[in-house]
Amino acid sequence: MGVQIQPSFHFCYNAGMRDVTLCFLVRGNKICLAMKKRGFGVGKWNGVGGKVQDGETIEEAAVRELREEIGVTTLVEDLENVGNIKFFFNEKPDWNQRMYIYFVHRWTGNPQESDEMAPKWYKLDEIPYDAMWVDDPHWLPNVLRGEKIEGEFYFNQDGAELDKFNVKGLVAK
Ligand code: 6OG
């Protein structure tokens, strides 16, 4: 008997989701955040990243974004994947994205301001969650504790409020 292929709701739902990266430089008890100066998430502190372009891997995109946005050079092998999150925006499916999150422990150059972002070092116990995306308090503390996470977040139309979310820890690092 042939293999039966089940219609997959999730496959259809995720199809065409944009892949984006998010990197955090980590040094001792500090993490580098950057103020988004324009575009999606303007006015928020966040890690550094952006859309994966045609012809590059997700890790290559992460390395490129760090160079373009804060002038820091790193290598693909110095990226530590600490989690992946899918974002769904009610009534704005073109905003839906899958975000690959990395910690970076080794790089060259000091983080510098660009047209896109203004970096700043924060102590781990002084992270400005009030000025970040509303999902961040639900997963960033987990990865800072050493958990690897997989999450799904569902937002209202403009991304200001969370409708529901699910975050699960994968394996201890
Ligand atoms: P550009 O579209 O400017 O890249 N991003 C998010 N980061 C967090 N923490 N929470 C969210 O909740 C996010 N949605 C997007 C991915 C946008 C950058 O913003 C990140 C990218 O690094 C909704 O190219």
Ligand 1 atom with the smallest distance to the CA of 36 is 3
Give the separation between CA 170 and CA 82, rounded to whole angstroms.
10
Q: Is the pLDDT of residue 88 over 60?
A: yes
Coil, strand or helix at 124: helix
Ligand 1 atom with the smallest distance to the CA of 159 is 23
Question: Which pLDDT score, from 0 to 100, does residue 172 have?
Answer: 55
Residue 63, H or E segment: helix 58-70
Distance 11 CA to ligand 1 centre (A): 22
Nearest residue (CA) to ligand 1, atom 22: 49
Q: Is the pLDDT of residue 35 over 50?
A: yes
What CATH number corresponds to the domain at position 22? 3.90.79.10
pLDDT per position as a tens digit, 148-170: 999 999 998 777 899 999 999 87
Question: Which pLDDT score, from 0 to 100, does residue 10 have?
Answer: 45
pTM: 0.91
Residue-number span of the structural domain to which 50 is assigned: 9-170
Residue 45 Cβ inside 6 Å of ligand 1? The answer reads no
Looking at the structure of the chain, the number of domains it has is 1
Question: Which pLDDT score, from 0 to 100, does residue 15 have?
Answer: 60
Classify residue 119: in a domain, yes or no.
yes
